Chain A
Amino acid sequence: DVKVTQSSRYLVKRTGEKVFLECVQDMDHENMFWYRQDPGLGLRLIYFSYDVKMKEKGDIPEGYSVSREKKERFSLILESASTNQTSMYLCASSSPGTGDGYTFGSGTRLTVV
């Protein structure tokens, strides 16, 4: 019963390419999030969205953009991929105020060469 699905487990892209990471949730959650996870740095919030077509910058938004055209889908876009964007990317969703915790996808390991 997969609830948050990330489109790719592994991805290899070239420097300068435009990269799309897709995330879909089937729990009707209002909030969706994109994190990157790097050794020694933990999880860092890139962007989040609390409603369709709404987005907020997280702690490290530079070099990224997002799109939320439908409630269930939250896309992370690397406009021009760079090697320092090689990382594990994690999508999550939640319902605010319930405190039920986040539901995470399985992650996408992106390598930029």
Chain B
Amino acid sequence: SQQGEEDPQALSIQEGENATMNCSYKTSINNLQWYRQNSGRGLVHLILIRSNEREKHSGRLRVTLDTSKKSSSLLITASRAADTASYFCATVLFSNRDDKIIFGKGTRLHILP
């Protein structure tokens, strides 16, 4: 039941450049979240944007959400070597007992020194 799909699957950029990753989804959502995963580790929650929000910032992260196009983007500005990781979007739909969250397959980001 895959919903979010990230694009591109892999991205390599020079340190200092901006990195943009996109996520498309198919059904209604209450919010969309982005996670980061370092190699061989668990996922870390980065940022959440609610369905009534269009843009959100957190440090060097900027997330946009276009519910009419069912898409979101994650921008990392002034990338650093430590940003090398996989990034996942996750769509969330509230229900009575649990929030139905569906993860995409991720974008592998590699920052070149």
Contacts and interface: CB of A to CB of B under 8 A. Distances in A.
Interface of A: 4, 6, 31, 40-43, 48, 50, 56, 59, 88, 90, 92, 94, 96-97, 99-107, 109
Which of the four size classes fits the interface of chain B? 20 to 34
Contacts, number: 65
A88 B90 CA distance: 19
Given A42-B106, A101-B48, A106 B99 contact: no
Contacts of A105: 42
B97 interface: yes
A101 B97 contact: no
Nearest to A108: B42
Contact of A97 (B33, B99, B103, B105): B99
Nearest to A6: B42
B101 interface: yes
A103 B40 CA distance: 16
A4 B2 CA distance: 25
B99 A94 contact: yes
Contacts of A88: 40
Given A42-B2, A101-B33, 11 more contacts: A50-B98, A59-B1, A94-B99, A96-B94, A99-B30, A99-B92, A101-B45, A104-B42, A104-B44, A107-B41, A109-B40
B92 A104 contact: no
A107 B2 CA distance: 21
B99 A99 contact: yes
A103 B33 CA distance: 12
Nearest to A98: B99
